Amino acid sequence: MAASLQLLQFKPVKPSFSFFSRRSAPIICSAAPTPSKSQRSYTITLLPGDGIGPEVISVAKDVLILAGSLEGIKYEFRERLIGGAALDATGVPLPDETLSSAKQSDAVLLGAVGGYKWDNNDKHLKPETALLGLRQELKVFANLRPASVFPQLVDASTLKREVAEGVDLMVVRELTGGIYFGKPRGFGTNEDGEECGFNTEIYAQHEIDRIAHAAFKIARKRNGKLCSVDKANVLEASILWRRRVSAIAQEYPDVELSHMYVDNAAMQLIRNPKQFDTIVTNNIFGDILSDEASMITGSIGMLPSASLGASGPGLFEPIHGSAPDIAGQDKANPFATVLSAAMLLKYGLDEGKAAQRIENAVLDTLNKGLRTGDIYSPGTKLVGCKELGEEIMKSVESNVPSGATV
């Protein structure tokens, strides 16, 4: 079964505490066709990648296996190389074997790519090109990045408690268009003989329309508020963006649409983040704003993401980087990758019960006061990646109800 947006045809479920939306029923993105539950067997491509990637993927894999076994799910895991690890082994950041495995799987779970070792490589030999290529080849155009402040971690935020407490927003980022992929791009010489670099911010109508539809349907399942972020006072691509989003809004009269320039949005996310529920924006703005939003929560190590297309497997990954400075030291925070695995189950495989089991386990583990260094505070227990993973596993097995953890 492949993960897909199907333009987000959601199945209603009973409201419960969910990391992805605390105030409404969890958003379910069902694949089509839906296999019978008697099959319950899926192929998952694992891409540990670089830095802390292998460490956090190892924890997430164990959690997936346990949660799956307890809910009658079986997996076939295919581990493949990507990024710097692939460069060292094969000479390219995205080997054909990796891409083929990803395309043929039901879902893809990625750790992280990149590291200082490859910073000076030519652009086509940088680890990060693998991620862009994978997204493009899988045709995943909608990147969903939730940013919610866990009650247990509100004091870990760098913002005042009254600002951070209760923040629960979703950034819907267009993923395969815009300046990251636009052409022409490259290097040249200007009329004064100086070397220059150039990129193209370009969006076609259909690219804007499909991400707008996705965002409106997500907003409808949350609190009915959508803020479209652009730079329409300067950029032609943003003028078209605003025009198309406004036109599509007519199809969603139950969703309140607002527009905001990206520079103002960056300020408002810090000043009053609770004003936002769902944000939709282009590739580069979404890249920046979602990372900014993540820090409201206290740590980028807490936040997962899902990248979905109209058909085919979805790509699920933590939004943190490879953190080469702590790689191999058992200091990595695996929560974001574990929650990405929960998103994989919920959005990619329509296995909501197993996903909820993992979400409950994360909350239960936080309630026990266990923390990695990035979210540590006085009065909590500092643990490493492996020990935290073991504790999450215990909570997965006990399946503490979400209501008991809030």
Give the catalytic positions in this structure: 180, 231, 263, 287, 291
Alpha-carbon distance of 124 to 238, in angstroms, equals 28
The DSSP line for 249-271 is GGG-TTSEEEEEEHHHHHHHHHH
Judged by DSSP in three states, 314 sits in strand
Q: What are the residues whose beta carbons fall under 8 Å from the beta carbon of 160, sequence distance 6 or more?
A: none
Q: What is the DSSP letter of 9?
A: -
396 neighbors 63 (Cβ within 8 angstroms): yes
Q: What is the DSSP letter of 346?
A: I
Distance separating the N- and C-terminal Cα atoms of the chain: 33
Burial status of residue 145 (CB atoms within 10 A of its CB: 0-12, 13-18, 19 or more) = buried
A 10 A CB-CB count for 9 gives 12
